[in-house]
């Protein structure tokens, strides 16, 4: 990610910011740019688990109400539909071409209740704080 967005993302600087200025780190967008590829975790000669540190910091940020637009929209989509992305009619047509059944956009009330049960209302509260 640092190679793809050199002006916006540097995991070393982000780690330093989390250490020295946690409030600033949780309010910025940089925290949300790690792609979770775990490359740094596998290669770090000091055994630092940056990915886990960033995950914990993201959780802390969202608990404090700092959730950027994209993850907030993703959560709203999951809360609303039970899916991380909408299933378009095109997807269902492609599936039919391969002899697969339609998925449809509605997962059904029972399944949606299960999703909400698993996610808990914490997510909804996090989404509402930033709306």
- Binding interface with ligand SF4 (CB under 6 A): 1-2, 11, 34-40, 50-51
For residues 49 and 39, what is the distance between their CA atoms, to the nearest angstrom? 10
Question: Are 57 and 25 contacting, i.e. CB atoms less than 8 angstroms apart?
Answer: yes
CA dihedral 78, 80, 86, 88 (to 10 degrees): 160
Residue 41 CB, nearest approach to ligand SF4 (Å)? 6
Q: Which is nearer to ligand SF4, 39 or 102 (CB)?
A: 39
Residue 95 CB, nearest approach to ligand SF4 (Å)? 32
Residue 4 CB, nearest approach to ligand SF4 (Å)? 9
Q: Which is nearer to ligand SF4, 42 or 97 (CB)?
A: 42
**Per the structure block, which two tokens stand in for 28?**
């910025």
Residue 101 CB, nearest approach to ligand SF4 (Å)? 36
Q: Which is nearer to ligand SF4, 46 or 117 (CB)?
A: 46
Question: Are 70 and 32 contacting, i.e. CB atoms less than 8 angstroms apart?
Answer: yes
For residues 85 and 28, what is the distance between their CA atoms, to the nearest angstrom? 25
């Amino acid at each position: 990610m640092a190679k793809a967005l050199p002006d916006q993302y540097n995991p070393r600087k982000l780690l330093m910011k989390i250490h020295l200025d946690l409030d600033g780190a949780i309010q910025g967008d940089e925290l949300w740019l790690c792609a979770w590829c775990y490359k740094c975790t596998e290669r770090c000669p000091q055994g630092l688990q940056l990915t886990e540190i960033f995950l914990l910091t993201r959780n802390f940020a969202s608990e404090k109400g700092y959730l950027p637009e994209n993850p907030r929209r993703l959560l709203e989509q999951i809360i609303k539909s039970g899916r991380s992305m909408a299933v378009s009619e095109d997807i269902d047509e492609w599936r039919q071409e391969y002899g697969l059944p339609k998925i449809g956009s509605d997962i059904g009330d029972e399944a949606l209740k299960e999703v909400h049960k698993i996610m808990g209302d914490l997510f909804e509260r996090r989404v509402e704080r930033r709306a």
